[in-house]
Structure 1
Amino acid sequence: IGLNFHSIDLKIRNIDDTDNSREFLNVLSIFDFGGQERFKALLPKFLGGANGVLLVFDLTSKKSFEQLNFWYDQVIAHANGLNLPKILVGSKSDLISSTPIDNLVPEEEIRNFIQEKNIDMFVKTSALENQNVITVFKELNNLMLKHLKTQYVVC
């Protein structure tokens, strides 16, 4: 969860699963709206071309988790979200042990969200400890590649 709108191109090296000797490079364009109101007008434009979505919340903030419903609804409305690969990302996992239990997002609520919204994967991350940060992007890349392959299979 960022403070400002941010965009980055991330390059991920892949191995062709039909020919292990071939590698190719995928470029993911990542847009972080940081959950800020002032960027909501930009959502339809950016979501319209999305091939995958990361829904990020702060594990130590129930308010952050509650806002996921808005973001999920935006994905559904503007990005054909029912068919997009979606990963739920719980950030700040390094702060769980030092956060009052009343502030933590209950695991059961996370599981319910995943089931109700048909989320493909849930990953806990810590930027401070560099835990699963790169993994999230690699997994999203893999899910998008699988999705695109099934989408364009001719029968």
Structure 2
Amino acid sequence: MTIWDTAGQERFRTLTSSYYRGAQGIILVYDVTRKDTFEALDHWLKEIEVYSPGGGREIVKLLIGNKIDDEEHRVVTREEAEDWAESRGMLFMESSAKTSAGIQQAFDEVVEKILDNPLLVGTTPKPRAVNLQ
């Protein structure tokens, strides 16, 4: 498994199209305390559709609402995000990178869904190691 974390940063935008080729799973993360990060999801989903083989229809896509440890500053409700993800055929979870809540479960869910889809299993060469970049 190879994992790319672009952090949604502008400087990576010209490189991201190469990340989508051969992707079997994609995790989009927004900050539940910042509405702008939620509103930017449409842009990222559009990139997936444009740059992924087959428009990304077969790719496992998971939306994660992060920073649930900061509930008092939440501006994106769980229901709003769940509805957004469901309407786009995506899985949904919430997490806290600060407390590690939901992090392992998110990766487990994506891997499980990839392995459950015969169209995705074996579509890319198997690396010998996990690369976290």
Scaled by the length of structure 2, the TM-score of the pair is 0.82
Question: What root-mean-square deviation, in Å, do the aligned CA atoms of Structure 1 and Structure 2 show?
Answer: 1.6
SS where residue 135 of structure 1 aligns? Answer: helix
SS where residue 93 of structure 2 aligns? Answer: strand
Letter in 1 for 2:103: V
Aligned pair 1:109/2:119, yes or no? no
Aligned pair 1:118/2:85, yes or no? no
| Identical columns (%) | 29
Counterpart for residue 138 of structure 1: 108
Counterpart for residue 44 of structure 1: 17
Letter in 2 for 1:85: V
Counterpart for residue 62 of structure 2: 87
Larger radius of gyration: 1
How many residues in Structure 1 have an aligned counterpart in Structure 2?
Answer: 119
Scaled by the length of structure 1, the TM-score of the pair is 0.71
Greater strand proportion: 1
Give the superposition deviation at 1:111. 2.8
Runs (4+) off by over 6 Å: none
* Distance (Å, rounded) in 2 between the aligned partners of 1:57 and 1:122: 11
SS where residue 65 of structure 2 aligns? Answer: strand
Deviations 1:20-70 (A, max 9, x none): xxxxxxxx2111111111111111111111011101101111001001111
Counterpart for residue 128 of structure 1: 98
SS where residue 136 of structure 1 aligns? Answer: helix
